[in-house]
Amino acid sequence: MASKVTFYRDDDTLRVDLADAPFGYTREYGETRHVFFSTTGQPISVEFLFVSEGIDLSDLPARDLINEALRSVRGIKIAA
């Protein structure tokens, strides 16, 4: 599956879908970043809140894949 980026402008939220696999659990990275993992521990999706303030990828799993997917998004500061 190719990564898919969805920006919800009204909610100031952005979602990056990384893989198509059964959902297992969620891990929060601070208050503004949530990573959804498969039942085997693979990151399958990431949700960013308050993206107008910027996105921090520094300690996220699969950050290179997420950064690549976000190249199509304009106007949001990304800290890798």
- Tell me what pLDDT residue 31 has: 94
Residue range 39-64: mean pLDDT, rounded: 96
Fill in the amino acid letter for 72: S
- Tell me what pLDDT residue 74 has: 84
Give pTM, 2 decimals: 0.92
CB 44 within 8 A of CB 18: yes
Domain ranges (residues) in the chain: 4-79
Longest dimension (CA), the chain: 34
- Tell me what pLDDT residue 76 has: 86
